[in-house]
Amino acid sequence: MTDHSEIDSVTGRATTGHEWDGIKELNTPLPRWWVICFYLTIVWSIGYWIVYPAWPLISSNTTGLFGYSSRADVAVELANLEKIRGDKMAALGAASLADIEKDPALLALARAKGKTVFGDNCAPCHGSGAAGAKGFPNLNDDDWLWGGTLDQIMQTIQFGARSGHAKTHEGQMLAFGKDGVLKPDEIVTVANYVRSLSGLSTRKGYDPAKGEKIFADNCVACHGDGGKGNQELGAPNLTDKIWLYGSDEATLIETISQGRAGVMPAWEGRLDPSTIKAMAVYVHSLGGGK
Amino acid sequence: MNKTVNPKDLTSDDDVGPLYAARKKVYPQSVQGTFRRIKWGLMAFCLGVYYFLPFVRWNRGLGAPSQAVLIDLPNSRFYFFFIELWPQEVYYFTGLLIVAAVALFLMNSVGGRIWCGYLCPQTVWTDLFYAVERLIEGDRRERMKKDASTDPMKLERISEIVLKHSIWLLIAWWTGGAWVLYFNDAPTLVKELVTFQAPMIAYVWIGILTATTYVLAGYMREQVCTYMCPWPRIQAALTDEWALNVTYRYDRGEKRTSVKKAAELRALGEQVGDCVDCYQCVAVCPTGIDIRNGPQLECIQCGLCIDACDNVMAKIGRQKRLIGYDNDINIQRRQEGKAPIYRIVRPRTIAYSAIIAAVGGIMIYVLATRTLLDINVLHDRNPVAIKLSDGSIRNAYTARLLNKSGHDRVIAIDIDGPANATIHVVGADSVTPDRPMIVIPRDSTSELRLLVTAPAESNPEKSIPVHFHVTDIGLGEAASTIDNFVAP
Ligand code: SF4
Ligand code: SF4
């Protein structure tokens, strides 16, 4: 021992010689097993470094001795998951749309699967909660351009609308102004007539009889008598409270003058059939389905 | 000699002394007395509960486990006699942990480390292992002699050692075995274990617990309390001057000297104490300390030194409790010639008791009013509200229905919200007018999508509350919850 140490008179133990503000440090050696354990953890950690991928290199890392990698682990887990899901997805593919909705387990699976696929593929246009936006239908409500039954929804997802697919929905709103079919004042009149169909206010001095006539001559072919719409052609119901592009006069004038032709892509070929089925069930269960 | 070192001048070369010290083995001597009896009693009780509780049966009806205490991991259920807890109900465990922690504080403020000295598993098992050791190898002196002996091993000695370790391992193995029984039906698992049909994980756990019991109670012993357990440090911060700690009453004990010498000194009118310096208190101490040096971190306050000293005092005809449970204040007071005072009821203990009573009360209340049918509802955030073609407003909710009972239920869902609002359940099993019904299998949860629609004329201006009621059609048991209905 060096001359730094002394024996503490109270405890009779040696001090380390360290003293701060009159407080001296007793020399209390660690138990041997403790120190041994400590060294063992160091040895263990070195072993760990060598056995497992650890050291970062410039563009990769050391791979360890047993070729273990957490990425490979994840891949295996994912493969297992696919295998487990495979059977269930097969069951989904085999069941009819109506049966899926009646079976709680299949419904839950379809909704879960549909929700993720919807988020990946449909959310950019329809919104993550399928609430839609101007020009992009809200799928939670009960207003369907191309029909809201399970089969109709599925068909729309499969083939799209104006998508260029051979079986796609066709039909578009003509540009009555741009094409010179209607004169500007006629467009204003028929726009007001359309507003009156769903009980909205009309501009002062507007002539309802004239509006009805213009409508009958130009619009009934697609929107039907009284403007109730036609799902064959994707022509919206003009008497309800839901407007895809907006119900104010200016928007209606723009719609009638310029026409509308929103595109829904066809998902057949891009998503497998059982996934499309799951998505149809999901969209239908959002609540607006017929 | 007393040289001051400037911290700036310190280098590693200034460190002196050994880095580590070999353990000094403790050879506690057997002792008889009040506290030893209490310890035997508590040991028998604790071990009895631990080893045999899994075999207690509890009838919960068909299909449900009939084990009184069971942690059913695969099905995420916890059974405790008449209580069955689901994972959602972990707050009971939170409550239990709070009660346990505060109970520890309360014990500590009343009687110091009662937990350490009498109830801690480390103490209980170490005590048991010591008992085995003593039975086979003899008491303190014999053991010391045997360990120090340099004679070549005799057959007798070898068989002693083998016997001791076999019994230790047997106890350790039984300890590990009892552990896994809490996670599975005990009689079945025992049968599977002996026929080697049990799952691998059971054997692994038994192995781990056998090893830890054997090492901790057989070898580590007081080292666990001194070096590994954080409680001595925490306890030191929690204790106060009123807490009853095992104390050497040095006001009565000093100065220490033999009976004969004491009589001589007394005759001369000198001050001598009752302690005869016989070291009995040190000999019996399982942590190997001398309580006469004052309160120490190592002391687990097991009270064995009290028994040892009491026996000595009885023999020499002096008053007992030269070492006893006492508080800091009384040492002071007795020195000043005042009567000792003890105070168990004081703000601290009242506060701890109040917390225990409050948390315990809340838990009992929640348990007593807990239903076997429950509903949780979450309002859809995106979109919050939907306008329908006829102008009515719809809100969508995700509901979780819990059927904690042992039978399937037919549940009707009703709402109480905006005027004339209707409810639709996606995938409902049947619908009588405006009353969707759904079947929930026993012991399970169902996630449902609820759509609440309010007609245009009753559209609320702002968000208004909507109550969801679920009713078991058969039994009439009901539950409800509340959320909001909002207009866009
Ligand atoms: S000093 Fe006394 S109370 Fe403390 S551990 Fe030793 S025997 Fe037990
Ligand atoms: S047992 Fe009692 S008398 Fe003996 S040394 Fe300890 S305190 Fe003193």
**Which pLDDT tens digit goes with each residue over B116-159?**
999 999 999 999 999 999 999 999 999 999 999 888 888 999 99
E strand map for B222-342:
245-248, 323-326
> For A5, which of B7, B17, B394 is closest by C-beta distance?
B17
Q: What is the pLDDT at residue B1?
A: 36
Residues in chain B: 488
Counting DSSP H helices and E strands in chain B, the numbers are 16, 16
Residue type, B486: V
> Considering chain B, what is the average pLDDT of its residues?
89
Q: How far is B457 from chain A (nearest CA, A)?
A: 13
Instruction: Average the pLDDT over B322-336 and give the result.
Output: 89
**Residue of A1, A11, A16, A38 to mutate for B, most B C-beta atoms under 10 A:** A16
Instruction: Average the pLDDT over A181-199 and give the result.
Output: 93
Rounded to whole angstroms, the Cα distance separating A14 from B16 reads 10
Helix, strand, or coil here: B281?
Answer: helix
Cα distances from B57 to residues B61, B65, B82, in angstroms, run 12, 9, 11
Residues forming beta bridges with residue B431, ordered by sequence position: B436
CB–CB of B472/B410 below 8 Å? yes
Structure-block tokens of residue B90? 């972990």
**Tokens 């905006």 identify what position?**
B418
* pLDDT tens figures, A44-95: 999 998 898 888 888 888 888 888 888 889 999 999 988 888 888 888 889 9
Statement: residue B14 has pLDDT above 60: no
Q: What is the pLDDT at residue A5?
A: 65
* pLDDT tens figures, B148-159: 988 888 899 999
Residue of A172 and A190 predicted with greater confidence:
A190
Q: What is the pLDDT at residue A65?
A: 87
Statement: residue B15 has pLDDT above 80: no
DSSP B75: T
Q: Which residues of B touch A141 (CB under 8 A)?
A: 386-389, 394
**Is B3 at the interface with chain A, CB within 8 A?**
yes
Residue type, B139: D
> For B17, which of A16, A107, A240 is closest by C-beta distance?
A16
Q: Would the CB atoms of A33 and B223 count as touching at under 8 Å?
A: yes
Q: What is the pLDDT at residue A2?
A: 46
Q: How far is B25 from chain A (nearest CA, A)?
A: 12
Residue of A22 and A218 predicted with greater confidence:
A218
Residues in chain A: 290
- Phi and psi based region of residue A164 (left: phi greater than 0; alpha: psi -120 to 50; beta: remaining): left
**What ligand has the least distance to the C-alpha of B126?**
1
Instruction: Average the pLDDT over A205-218 and give the result.
Output: 92
Q: What is the pLDDT at residue B430?
A: 74
Closest-CA residue, ligand 2 atom 4, reads: B278
Nearest CA in chain A to B430: A102
- A203-A209-A215 Cα angle (round to 5): 90
DSSP B264: H
- One DSSP character per residue, chain A reads --TT--B-TTT-PBEEEEEETTEEEE--PEEHHHHHHHHHHHHHHHHHHHHSS--B-SSSB---SS---HHHHHHHHHHHHHHHHHHHHHHHHHS-HHHHHH-HHHHHHHHHHHHHHHHHHTHHHH-TTS--BTTB--TTSS--SS--SHHHHHHHHHH-BSSS-TT-B---B--TTTTTSS-HHHHHHHHHHHHHHTT----TT--HHHHHHHHHHHTHHHH-GGG--BTTTTBPPSSSS--SS--SHHHHHHHHHH-B---B---BTTB-HHHHHHHHHHHHHTTT--
**Is B445 at the interface with chain A, CB within 8 A?**
no
Greatest alpha-carbon span in chain A = 117
Residues forming beta bridges with residue B326, ordered by sequence position: B245
Helix, strand, or coil here: B313?
Answer: helix
Nearest CA in chain B to A30: B20
Q: What is the pLDDT at residue B312?
A: 95
Q: How far is CA B164 from the centre of its chain?
A: 30
Residues forming beta bridges with residue B85, ordered by sequence position: B78
Each residue of B92-118: b (16+ CB within 10 Å) or e? beebeebbeebbbbbbbbbbbbbbbbb
CB–CB of A2/B16 below 8 Å? yes
Statement: residue B5 has pLDDT above 50: no
Of B332, B331, B327, B359, residue with least CA distance to B344: B327
DSSP B117: I
> For B5, which of A17, A140, A241 is closest by C-beta distance?
A17
Rounded to whole angstroms, the Cα distance separating B256 from B278 reads 9
Q: Would the CB atoms of A241 and B22 count as touching at under 8 Å?
A: no
Question: Which helix (H) or strand (E) is B140 found in, with range?
Answer: helix B140-148
- A6-A11-A15 Cα angle (round to 5): 30
Q: Which atom of ligand 1 is nearest the CA belonging to B291? A: 1
Statement: residue B179 has pLDDT above 80: yes
Q: Would the CB atoms of B387 and A141 count as touching at under 8 Å?
A: yes
Query: Of the ranges A58-72, B27-41, B47-61, B85-99, which one carries the lowest mean pLDDT score?
Result: A58-72
* pLDDT tens figures, B439-465: 888 888 888 889 999 988 776 777 889
Instruction: Average the pLDDT over A191-206 and give the result.
Output: 91
Instruction: Average the pLDDT over B179-187 and give the result.
Output: 94
Q: Strand pairing of B20-21 and A30-31? A: parallel
**Is B10 at the interface with chain A, CB within 8 A?**
yes
Structure-block tokens of residue B99? 């009660």
Confidence tier at B17 by pLDDT (50, 70, 90): low
- Cβ neighbors of B220 (< 8 A, separation 6 or more) are A33, B228
Statement: residue B16 has pLDDT above 60: no
Structure-block tokens of residue B186? 């005990």
Rounded to whole angstroms, the Cα distance separating B411 from B373 reads 10
**Tokens 């909710």 identify what position?**
B397
Q: What is the pLDDT at residue B13?
A: 46
The contact set of A with B (CB < 8 A) is 1-6, 14, 16-20, 27, 29-35, 101-102, 104, 107-108, 111, 127-131, 138, 140-143, 237, 240-242, 285-288
Q: Is the ipTM of this complex over 0.85?
A: no
- Phi and psi based region of residue B432 (left: phi greater than 0; alpha: psi -120 to 50; beta: remaining): beta
Statement: residue B264 has pLDDT above 80: yes
* pLDDT tens figures, B242-251: 999 999 998 8
> For A29, which of B5, B20, B451 is closest by C-beta distance?
B20
As for ligand 2, residues whose beta carbon falls within 6 Å of it are B 248, 253, 275-281, 292, 308-309, 312, 322-323
pTM of the model: 0.75
- One DSSP character per residue, B181-241 reads HTTS-HHHHHHHHHTT-S-HHHHHHHHHHHHHHHHIIIIITHHIIIII-SHHHHHHHH--T
- A59-A65-A68 Cα angle (round to 5): 70
Query: Of the ranges B208-212, B266-270, B288-292, which one carries the lowest mean pLDDT score?
Result: B266-270
Query: Of the ranges A51-60, A268-277, B225-234, which one carries the lowest mean pLDDT score?
Result: A51-60
Rounded to whole angstroms, the Cα distance separating B98 from B363 reads 11
**CB contacts < 8 Å between A and B, how many?**
117
Q: What is the pLDDT at residue B2?
A: 44
Rounded to whole angstroms, the Cα distance separating A290 from B202 reads 54
**What ligand has the least distance to the C-alpha of B112?**
1
Q: Give the CB-side neighbour count of residue A93, counting CA atoms within 13 A.
A: 11
Statement: residue B43 has pLDDT above 80: yes
Confidence tier at A249 by pLDDT (50, 70, 90): very high
Q: Which residues of A touch B4 (CB under 8 A)?
A: 19
Q: How far is CA A22 from the centre of its chain?
A: 68
Q: What is the pLDDT at residue A4?
A: 58
Residue of A4 and A144 predicted with greater confidence:
A144
DSSP B333: H
Instruction: Average the pLDDT over B47-59 and give the result.
Output: 94
Q: What is the pLDDT at residue B431?
A: 74
Q: Cβ(B299) to ligand 1 under 6 A? A: yes
Rounded to whole angstroms, the Cα distance separating B155 from B153 reads 7
**Is B25 at the interface with chain A, CB within 8 A?**
no
CB–CB of A218/A176 below 8 Å? yes
E strand map for B108-193:
none
